[in-house]
Chains A and B, each alone.
Chain A
Amino acid sequence: MVHNMRRGKIKRQEPQNKQIDIASYNKDASPKAYVQNLSGMSSAQKKTMLSAGVDASGKGRSGTYLQMDHSVVHSNSLFAGLEVMSTTQALKKHEWLDNYFWKAVNPQADEFTAQAHTKPNHGYFIRALPGAKVVFPLQACLFITQNNIMQTVHNIIIVEEGSDLQVITGCATAEDVSRGLHIGISEFYVKKNARLTFTMVHNWAEDVSVRPRTAAIVEEGATFLSNYICLKPVKNLQMYPKAELTGRGAIARYNSILFAHPGSHLDVGSKVILKAKDSKAEIVARAISAGGEIIARGYLKADVAPVKAHLECRGLMLKESGKIYAIPELEGNTAGVDLSHEAAVGKIAKEEIEYLMARGMTQGAAQAAIVRGFLDTSIMGLPDELNKQINKAIEACEKEAF
């Protein structure tokens, strides 16, 4: 936590970004053709997408959005109350959409955001119409298939009054891509009494840098549930998504599962600003270092009362090297707020490994079971089907991670 004391005032500082030379990436990418039928994609591409939670068969999905580099390759909705298209197309279709652009995220926040502001390349537009209960999750995939490019997308999700939507986004790089930069602006609007479950799985490559810039505005009686999973190597990931609870009784919950391979640097946090009475928030993070670095941040800010929010971070060190740095921050600005946090960083307890070994499991099997338990997704409170999908994605990643 970095605080500057100046004339008795406490000034909070945002994390400093690791330097990235934006100019070293290609702004342009070759156009990719629209694909009518996703099952026709190469099996390598399908596998990569699946490990990011996106199923090319479209089975059990209410729709799909797929972008490769700067091209919208596929977009469809199978549900009447659901709109799925690129933000570029949506801007043409809905005149009012301007009111949602750059309202949650400040375009001048940093150089990456500014870059996406100047030169966006589509991104998804997803909207659940008022009262629509979209049973199956919608899937969106942002795919980098060309080496050394910079992908800049601007996504918008609007969950209209009383509607219910689940979104799975998978961001991934094709197998032969080693270097790249992904900048993703995402603005989510969860309207009165609506509910959005947003699950993002990242599946990058060793030399890819990633800068998502995400903010959600959650209205009265609405719920925003955000799950983030990053198990694959990534050179350098920095994100600090924010939810503003603006309506009475609004709820936000962030769950993150982070795995740092040797050479990976993850600076990931979640922020919730509680601006309305009776609003609630919970931030839960599980961080594992297998030699890489993780900075796990959390920030809860309460401007009114009564509100209640809790932050929890557990870190597990698997190797002698590596680093997990947990930085929980709480800021109460009035009486009657209830903010709390707990953080713990440690290694796998030897007695837990030996206990399982005493039943006949090998040391490796015992360790894997414990790590798998540490990454238990049942804490995320997801719908069954979605939970299964995510576990599949975790398993696919784990196979390579251990």
Chain B
Amino acid sequence: MIKIQNLTVKIADREVLSNINLEIKKGQVMALLGPNGSGKTSLIMAIMGFSDYKITSGDIIFKGKRINNASVDERARMGIGAMFQRPPTIRGVKTRQVVDLIKQENFSTDKAAEELNLKEFLGRDINSGFSGGEIKRSELLQLLAGSPSLSLFDEPESGVDMENIVLVGKMMNRILRKNKDNAALIITHTGYIFDYVKPDRGCILVGSKLHCAGNPKSILTTIKKHGYQWCITCEGERLKDKSHKTSR
């Protein structure tokens, strides 16, 4: 589905992603773990093509096409969708208006909003005064409406209460299962969401570098035991025998 090759990304003059290699295959769900500030969100923004995130080297290949120079909307129309961590408030632009503008045929805005407990948010300015959990659900509503083939979920469970995490998981699965080839990248640092959405593989981003790829469960266990610091020195090699495989 997507292949990221030797990708280096800068914001202003600061390198936030260094020489990243990552592949997500058709139908695959990839977990991305990493401490705060390691560049996880930057990776999503770079894949989506946000202009502050400048690719200084490397390639992003989506569905066999190099998309480095594609505009944000072109990428979206090719099938990439993101659940953003900190979406902007747009004054006067109603949630319903956005959903109606982007939805696929046969999508019922009202029905989906009802399922996501967002009915009364449809008439509100998008993201204006939304709580953490409300932002997640509103982002999911927009993803459901657009139905991407590659979904990039940025910390889907953070700020979501116990009750709503079930709902968030259910909707993520719905987006994924619309087509058997649909793939996803799920960013998390708690792994709670894995109780609802099962990742096939996992990788770790620390200090702008991607460290290893392998079984998401055992990566999570290792991190819980040794902390992220350990990954910096590990370079994937030491984990090799413990079911981790290097991505290089």
> Which residues in A have some Cβ–Cβ distance to B below 8 Å?
349-352, 354-363, 365-366, 369-370, 372-376, 378-379
Contact = CB atoms under 8 A, between A and B. Distances in A.
Interface in B128-157: 142, 146
A310 to B, nearest CB: 17
Given A354-B50, A354-B51, A373-B125, A360 B91 contact: no
Contacts of A374: 91-92
A276 B72 CA distance: 55
B11 interface: no
Given A359-B102, A365-B101, A372 B92 contact: yes
A358 B82 contact: yes
Given A370-B90, A374-B92, A376-B92, A354 B97 contact: no
B76 A355 contact: no
Chief secondary structure at chain A's binding surface: helix
A373 B102 contact: no
B93 A358 contact: no
Contacts of A379: 92
A355 B84 contact: yes
A370 B102 CA distance: 15
B98 interface: yes
B11 to A, nearest CB: 13
Q: Which of A370, A373, A378 has the most CB of B within 10 A?
A: A373
A243 B75 CA distance: 53
A21 to B, nearest CB: 40
Contacts of B72: 354, 357-358
Contacts of A370: 90, 92-93
A50 to B, nearest CB: 24
B73 A369 contact: no
Given A369-B97, A373-B125, A359 B146 contact: yes
Nearest to B93: A373
B88 interface: yes
Interface string B180-191: 000000000000
Contacts of A359: 76, 81, 98, 101-102, 142, 146
Given A359-B146, A369-B101, A375 B92 contact: yes
Contacts of B87: 355
A359 B77 CA distance: 8
Contact of A349 (B76, B77, B82, B88): B88
A354 B75 CA distance: 12
A378 B76 CA distance: 31
Interface in B34-80: 48, 50-52, 71-73, 75-77
B185 to A, nearest CB: 15
